[in-house]
Chain A
Amino acid sequence: MFNNERTVELLMLSVMCTMSALSLSSRCNAQSFQDPPAQEAVERVAHTTAVRIARRNLENYKGQNGILSMKTLVLGGEFRVTTVIPFRGNVADYNRLEITRPVSLVGGALNVEVSNHQVAKIKSQFESRKIFESVRVIDSYDSALYVGKQKGLSSEIADTHSVQDDALEAPILSAEDMEARDRERAREQQEFEQPSPRTLVTVIEVLDYAKGSRLKQALPLDLGKSILTVRLRYYDKTTGQEIGRQIISGRSDGSSLLGPLSPRDALSGVADGLVDQVTRRVAASVR
């Protein structure tokens, strides 16, 4: 009946998801509607499964053409991507995404409203694709705070106890202190060895922005272009290591079929470009 292996896998995943959700809800039974943690657990399982399914669906994902696509020809909002540092590592390992609010490097041309609008647009697009378990907007990310943290972690584990206890002036510790310290070390080691969710951080810096004018776009004088150019830096949140860098430039000049009436602008182009680029990397890693 099912000759397609992928279809079978998807069906099995769906069944597992439904079963686990039913199992959790039956355990909670009477309390389930009033017990928020149980409800949350069910939702979490369902969401994780949905992400897995969405990622499996990416196997045949074909990246968007930022200029010559039906969408851009009809609605406008084209984008171009320049890769400065190609992505390193397996992007599919990241199951969480954090996006910083755009930092303007062009002064006050990009105001807070536009910035919030842009980041909300990107967030909603990622959420609708369901390729990350969570998508968060953060104010900023300083990689310098994280660089070397992971590297030194194992040695820190060996010596995380109070420095004062081992100071030369301090007395000899007791056997109970030794046992307590051993327990603490074992706990930290266990935490370290457990796979923790990995987070991809996308830092957005605005290099160029022009709001544009629909009215001027209506005139056949090549005026009123909407332009947005951003530099995107991708980081592994835990290590602070930069895993890729791109520049995406979006524009809308009223030359599409809908012309100035199109709802799309440069911001839409950049959002599409960013989501497309990350999705491509995830898809490539899934494959």
Chain B
Amino acid sequence: MKRIIFITATLILTLHLGFAQAIHQTRSAKQTNRPPESDDDTITIDAALVNTHVSVRDKSGHSVSGLTKDDFTVLDEGKEQPIVLFSEESNQPLRMAIVVDRSRSVQKVLSLAKTAARNFFSSVLRPNRDRACVVAFDSGVYLKQDFTDDPNVLANALSRVTAEGGTSIFDAIYKVSRDKLSGTDQARRIILLITDGDDTTSRASVEQALEMALKNNVTVFALRLPDENSLNVRDLRGKPVLDRLTQTTGGRQFLFDGDESQLARFFDALQGEMRSQYSIGYRFQSQSSARSFHRIAIRMKEPNLKAFTRSGYYSE
């Protein structure tokens, strides 16, 4: 009797173990056959249209117009890209934000420059097509005049900005790019920053400001005025920061240390720069779904010319 019980128990145990192993093997097989779920392994190919604005200057720094797409070579992450869109910028609508520092030195100059500013707006803004707004900043950022194409309204808004403390340049670039210059239309987006260049109270870092500007394809031009507290007129404190802001976005920095006539010349130079810009578009095949920064480089076939554009863009 004992032997029968022993043999039965052994059989049951053997069957149980065999069944469990079979279930395990089936599960393993299922797992092996399942396709990978991780995003990291996904390869998506997306041909995105990348559009960038380009300024071309000769060796003496003058803007050059009348070029064709054959004069340019576009590199995205070092790889040459065929140009699919090319146009003179003057055909595209303009969205411009004049971002003005409320520091005393800036206000002193701007109060004298009402006529020059009005002339600038009159010549740059085309009625019913281009628009500009005026933003003032100290430790905060304020919309002094919303978008309009009326040069008088803009010039008045510019001359009525009063002096106050604090300087939040990066906050101003960040918020203006985000709130006033974002959008998907093909308009040229420009910030004209007028400051003495020393950021003291920003919440945003220079990197955050640049990222927001690049995301919205905003070009930053800067007019740097000397700090009135500085003993050295050519005080260089703000220069590296403004260099970075302007060069990374494809803009340019001007130094003002003269009188009203110099300011008028600055507006003329800026106007020339804006009129002779080019818009270049290309399709770049991204092999990653991850959001990443792509470096752009534009080279001129003519060795005496140099192209200036934003340093890159963020793929979505």
Contact = CB atoms under 8 A, between A and B. Distances in A.
Our verdict on whether A and B bind, yes or no, reads yes
Interface of A: 158-159, 161, 165-168, 171-175, 177-178, 181-182, 185
B136 A171 contact: no
B165 A175 contact: no
Given A158-B139, A174-B143, A175-B142, 4 more contacts: A167-B203, A168-B171, A168-B204, A173-B141
B93 to A, nearest CB: 21
Interface in B125-150: 135-136, 139-145
Contacts of B136: 178
Contact of A172 (B142, B164, B165): B142
Given A172-B175, A172-B179, A172-B180, A159 B139 contact: yes
Nearest to A173: B142
B216 interface: no
Contacts of B168: 166
15 contacts: A158-B165, A158-B166, A166-B139, A166-B141, A166-B171, A167-B203, A168-B203, A171-B179, A172-B141, A172-B175, A174-B143, A177-B140, A178-B140, A181-B140, A185-B164
Contacts of B142: 172-175, 177-178
Given A158-B165, A178-B144, A172 B135 contact: yes
Question: Which of B162, B165, B204 has most A Cβ within 10 Å?
Answer: B165
A182 to B, nearest CB: 6
Contacts of A175: 142-145
Interface size range of chain B in the complex: 20 to 34
Given A166-B203, A168-B203, A173 B208 contact: no
B153 to A, nearest CB: 13
A178 B176 CA distance: 16
A175 B146 CA distance: 10
B161 to A, nearest CB: 9
B201 A168 contact: no
Contacts, number: 53
B174 interface: yes
Contacts of A173: 140-143
B174 A166 contact: no
Contacts of A168: 171, 174-175, 203-204, 208
Contacts of A178: 136, 140, 142, 144
B102 to A, nearest CB: 9
B203 A172 contact: no
Closest 5 CB pairs of A and B: A178-B142, A158-B165, A168-B203, A173-B142, A166-B140
B230 to A, nearest CB: 19
Nearest to B135: A172
Given A158-B165, A166-B171, A185-B164, A172 B204 contact: no
Contacts of B174: 168
A161 B139 CA distance: 10
Question: Which of A158, A161, A178, A185 has most B Cβ within 10 Å?
Answer: A178
Nearest to B168: A166
Question: Which of A167, A172, A174 has most B Cβ within 10 Å?
Answer: A172
A8 B174 CA distance: 69
Contacts of B135: 172
Nearest to B209: A168
A197 B79 CA distance: 73
B143 A159 contact: no
Nearest to A177: B142
Contacts of B139: 158-159, 166
Nearest to A162: B140
B7 to A, nearest CB: 77
Nearest to A167: B203
Question: Which of B139, B140, B141, B174 has most A Cβ within 10 Å?
Answer: B140
Interface string B87-106: 00000000000000000000
A174 B133 CA distance: 12
Nearest to B102: A178
Contacts of A172: 135, 141-143, 175-176, 179-180
Contacts of B175: 168, 171-172
Contacts of A167: 203
Interface string B159-197: 000101110100100111001100000000000000000
Contacts of B140: 161, 165-166, 173, 177-178, 181
Contacts of B179: 171-172
